[in-house]
Structure 1
Amino acid sequence: MSNSILFAFLDYPPKSGPGSNRNYYLKQHFNKLGWCTKVLTIAEVDNDSDISFTDDTDIIRVKSRDATEVFSIAGKYPKIVEIPDRWYLWIIPALIKGYQQSKKNHFDYIYASFPAYSSTIVGYLLSKILKKPLVLDLRDPFRFRYDPENMPMHWLYRLLEKHVIKQTKYLLTTTQACATFYQNLYPNFPSTNVHVVHNGYAHEFHQELPKISRDEVSKPFILLHSGILYQIGRNPEALLIAIKLLIQRGTIKNGEFKLRFRGGYAWPELSQQILDLGLTNYVEFMDRISYLEAINEMSKVDANVLIQNSLFNLQIPSKLYDILALKKSILAVTDEQGALAKEMSFLGLPYFSNSAENIAKLLTQLISEEQLPLSDDVLQQRSRFTMNQHLSSILSNSLKS
């Protein structure tokens, strides 16, 4: 009899994005490894899907609505409407459908995926109701641990984290730093049941991307940051100062270099800093595009930059692995003690710093020559199938013992 698992995913195709992509390939890989899988998710229409996708009988969809739309008056709503997240209206219908599915299928595990609070709650409650072991996938730490915007609701999220961890059989994180953080927070949780499953890249997804010929590579030299910027946590100040240094030294000339922020918007102080540094001709902000379009853009530019300040030291952006799979040059503006820097060091990619002077040196190297891509053997260590194969072995072996 095949091992069986019920996944509770808020993010799943046709919804677009890296979280949806990760969850989709987790299910596909577990199927390939012989598991019987079911996915409990919301019914949502998204024309920006990154994956050619058709539902099958393994996908159980629950009708839900965005609470900020349901309770909005003239486009405004109280902050409490977003607690624990905007999609909490799917929790009760999901519990009903999950319970109904348990009568038709034997589940060995319930799997909950965070950072969506609502899917974590669905998985937690189904695990308690069905008395099945919970696998908790913490792609990020619980948000209140690092996000000052959640300060007023710390007590609620702290309580939720405590109860969910207590119910959890296996705790998964995407970085060793996050695993160690939670082991220190919950010393009574068995350390043998905490496992690091890196975000990785989906080989199948990247195989379907169009190949870029050399004459399609951008001119002038384009350094791309794809994604949201934050004043605290993802602030490009050190990078901007580094670019100013290179302009003063004559390494960068007007018309030959462009820093592109895709999907990131400038707050007033950032706009003023760009103006004060004289970088208006060197920096551009462009509108958000779909995840698939963003990956395509990453493949066309000369180099990609990740910005991960110390607020996010326990996390590694999944874009790192997409960039590596594309075999593109990369620069990281990050704390040298953070998880991103440690992962890049492990992979033999010493292209990171949070010092403007060091960033200027690394950027000079980037402009003068392409980085050597990772070998296929090293890259394979971070393929999502390799990660999911490892996870499958952990869960299967537990059922045998």
Structure 2
Amino acid sequence: MHKRALLIAFHFPPQAGSSGIQRTLSFSRHLPASGWEPMVLTARERIYINQNPSQLASIPPGLQVRRAFGLDAKLHLGWRGRYLNATALPDRWATWCLGAIPAGLSMIRAERPHVIWSTFPIPTAHLIGLALHRLTGLPWIADFRDPMLQPAYPTDKTQRRVYGWIENQTIRRCSKAVFTTHGAMMSYRQRFPDLAAEKFVVIENGYDEDMFGPDTGNAPQAAPDAGRPLMLVHSGLLYNTGRDPSPFLDAVARLKARAVVGAANLRIVLRAPGNIPGINALIERHGVADIVTTAPSVPYAQALAEMLTADGLLLFQGTPFNNQIPAKVYEYFRAQRPIFGLVDHGGETARTLAAAGFGDAALIDDAAEIATRLAHFLDRLRAGGAHVAPAELVAQSSRSHRARQLAAVFDEVAGASRPRELRHVA
């Protein structure tokens, strides 16, 4: 295998707490099938406040991983959680540049990769990609899991200026800018109208078939047995801004008051919602503790198995995240279970669900609309007539398919670059 790609990623095992590790891991696992040998440049383990060493087992055997020096300004340069803003520009992990740029040059000198790929939402990753691109002349693909500059973030003026400079340099100097949603891509095309449309590409997130196990086929489940309560599951964090469960709990309480639902016919599990005591207090306040329960975090494979046994899956994604699609959407597609969306109808998640044929969605902040649409959704579940993802969509949502899309981008930019000696690294 003669084509090599240098992948620059802050989120990589054993880092815990970000689903972003799955994007880089899946590309590392599946790119070889398309003729590309990946190498990963990441940070030393000490930089991560939250770690899950068990994730190290998911790194593909034989993958070259270089862990460069870096510090967390809050953890290593601060005092009792307080630190100087100057040590955290563009982000708390800016010192990673000090180790990663020399390490990246060393890898490029030794392995002669054909392309560089870096992934945000840590701006320092794109800063490293920019430096290595300028120093070597290698074509550079910049991956945006989220937009860099957003209306309400960053709030600090100095940090916002630094973000803006990195974003502008990245968009203008990279060979391709890759986004996970069409909405995010279009926002960048509108902000940079002088750049060719072909520069902007969408490669969505996806699910990893290996994590579902060998015995999880694609057959959708039939109507539930009579007398058994329906089970709805939400897997993942909930919080006040953008994923507030309060209107949903209010809607469940309204249906309970009208005897539409009760403990005998409905069970709702909020798996790993984050602030479990706070969520439990909301559940008690709305008087639905006999229907809705919280559950602690479980290993990833176990969470996927729970999705497969659910009658329906819940999705919370409100207005602040209109240009984003949670990675669990694609896991929900693979589980082939009906989905009830609590969304902003004008957001990217709502558009994706509608395009996939999922019509059961309600405005996340409107308890009355949620109650009406949820009642209809439950009726379809009991009748076995709720929509599930078709096989073609399931196949297109796999991470192996996304890796083939990325390999095609690599092929394009590597083929378009003129052969030349690498700058400054011979």
- Which of 226-235 and 263-272 deviates more? 263-272
- Give the structure 1 partner of residue 374 of structure 2: 360
2:233 paired with 1:224: yes
Residue 328 of structure 2 is aligned with which of 319, 324, 339? 319
Identity of paired residues, percent?
Answer: 22
Q: Answer yes or no: is the 8 Å Cα contact 1:39–1:58 preserved in 2.
A: yes
Q: Which residue is 2:197 aligned to?
A: 191
Structure 2 letter corresponding to 1:9: A
**Residue pair 1:245, 1:360 contacting (<8 A) in 2 also:** no
**Superposed displacement of residue 222, structure 1:** 3.3
Distance 1:43 1:255, change over 3 A: farther
Relative to structure 1, is the Cα distance of residues 275 and 68 closer, same or farther in structure 2, using a 3 angstrom cutoff? same
Using a 3 Å threshold, how does the CA distance of structure 1 residues 210 and 357 change in structure 2: closer, same or farther? closer
Matching of residue 78 in structure 1 with residue 92 in structure 2: no
Instruction: Give me the whole-angstrom Cα distance separating, in 2, the residues matched to 1:226 and 1:82.
Output: 32
2: CA distance, partners of 1:18 / 1:226: 13
Change (3 A) 1:221 1:82: farther
- In the other structure, the counterpart of 2:420 is none
AA aligned to 2:150 is R
- Tell me the amino acid that sits aligned with residue 318 of structure 1: A
C-alpha deviation, 1:308, in angstroms: 0.5
* 1:48/1:290 contact within 8 Å kept: no
- The question of whether the paired residues in 1 share the 8 Å contact of 2:115 and 2:414 is answered with no
**C-alpha contact 1:334 1:341 (8 A) present in aligned 2:** yes
User: 2:234 is paired with a residue of what secondary structure?
Assistant: strand
One-letter identity of the residue aligned with 2:52: D
In the alignment, the residues of structure 2 paired with residue 2 and residue 97 of structure 1 have an alpha-carbon distance, to the nearest angstrom, of 21
Matched, 1:205 2:211: yes
2:26 maps to a residue whose letter is Y
> In the superposition, relative to structure 1, how do residues 244 and 57 fare at CA in structure 2: closer, same or farther (>3 Å)?
closer
The equivalent residue for 2:28 is 27
Contact preservation (8 Å) 2:139, 2:413:
no
Alignment of 1:169-318 (within 5 A): 169-207=175-213, 220-254=229-263, 256-265=265-274, 274-318=283-327
8 Å CA contact retained: 2:395, 2:401: yes
What residue is the counterpart of 1:396 in the other structure? 411
Change (3 A) 1:70 1:151: closer
The aligned residue for residue 141 of structure 1 is 147
Is this contact kept in 2: 1:146–1:312, CA < 8 A?
no
What's the counterpart of residue 38 of structure 1?
Answer: 39
Q: What letter matches 2:138 in structure 1?
A: K
Cα shift at 1:63:
4.0
Per-residue deviation, 1:363: 3.8
2:314 is paired with a residue whose SS is strand
| 1:361 partner letter | A
148 and 123 in structure 1: CA distance in 2 versus 1, 3 angstrom threshold: closer
Name the CA distance, whole Å, in 2 between partners of 1:137 and 1:117: 11
State whether residues 89 and 162 of structure 2, in contact with CA within 8 Å, keep that contact through their aligned partners in structure 1.
no
Gapped runs of 5+ residues in structure 1? none
Query: Equivalents in 1 of 2:236, 2:84: separation in Å?
Result: 24
The answer on whether the counterparts of 2:10 and 2:43 sit within 8 Å (CA) in structure 1 is yes
Query: Using the alignment, how far apart are the partners of 1:315 and 1:300 within structure 2?
Result: 27
Instruction: Provide the secondary structure at the position in 2 that maps to 1:391.
Output: helix
How many angstroms apart in 2 are the aligned matches of 1:394 and 1:326? 29
Aligned partners of 1:208 and 1:128: how far apart in 2?
45
Give the deviation of 1:82 after TM superposition. Answer: 5.1
Q: In 1, distance between residues paired with 2:284 and 2:374? A: 19
Amino acid of the structure 2 residue aligned with 1:400 = G
Cα distance between partner residues in 1 of 2:379 and 2:233: 16
CA shift for structure 1 position 205: 2.9
Q: How many residues align?
A: 397
Deviates more, 1:190-199 or 1:157-166: 157-166
Q: CA deviation at 1:146?
A: 4.7
Alpha-carbon offset, residue 131 of structure 1: 1.8
Cα displacement (A) at 1:112:
0.6
- Kept after mapping to 2: 8 A contact 1:239/1:359: no
Q: Determine if contact 1:212/1:299 at 8 Å carries over to the other structure.
A: no
Structure 2: how far apart are the matches of 1:117 and 1:358? 43
Partners of 2:258 and 2:413 in 1: CA distance? 60
Q: CA deviation at 1:98?
A: 0.4
Instruction: Give the direction of change, closer, same or farther, for the CA distance of 1:151–1:229 in structure 2 (3 Å limit).
Output: farther
Give the aligned partner of residue 342 of structure 2.
333
Are the counterparts in 2 of residues 50 and 292 from structure 1 also a CA contact under 8 Å?
Answer: no
RMSD between aligned residues: 3.1
Give the CA deviation at 1:220.
4.7
Q: Is the 8 A contact 2:231 2:268 kept in 1?
A: yes
Native 8 Å contact 1:15 1:48 kept in 2: no
Match of 2:402 in 1: 387
What secondary structure, in the 3-state scheme, does the structure 2 residue paired with 1:348 have?
coil
| Distance in 1 (alpha carbons) for counterparts of 2:238 and 2:89 | 23
Structure 2, unpaired ranges of 5+: 46-50, 364-368, 417-426
Gap change, CA 1:36 and 1:265, over 3 Å in 2: closer
Where 2:67 maps in the other structure, the secondary structure is strand
Partner residue of 2:155? 150
Which is worse superposed, 57-66 or 161-170? Answer: 57-66
Which secondary structure state, in structure 2, belongs to the residue aligned with residue 224 of structure 1?
Answer: strand
CA distance in 2, matches of 1:207, 1:305: 22
For residue 265 of structure 1, report the CA deviation from its aligned partner: 4.2
Partner of 2:95: helix, strand, or coil?
A: helix
Deviations 1:229-260 (A, max 9, x none): 23121112332232122212212113543333
User: In the alignment, which residue of structure 1 is the partner of 2:356?
Assistant: 347
Q: 1:52 to 1:273 in 2, by over 3 A?
A: closer
Structure 1 CA distance, aligned partners of 2:56 and 2:360?
A: 29
Deviation per residue, 1:208-237 (Å, 9 max, x gap): 5878999xx997533222222231211123
Aligned-residue offset at 1:272: 6.6
For 1:220 and 1:118, locate their aligned partners in 2 and report how far apart those are by CA, in whole Å: 49
The range that moved more, 132-141 or 228-237, is 228-237
Q: Which moved more, 1:16-25 or 1:92-101?
A: 16-25
The answer to whether the Cα contact below 8 Å between 1:136 and 1:171 also exists between their aligned partners in 2 is yes
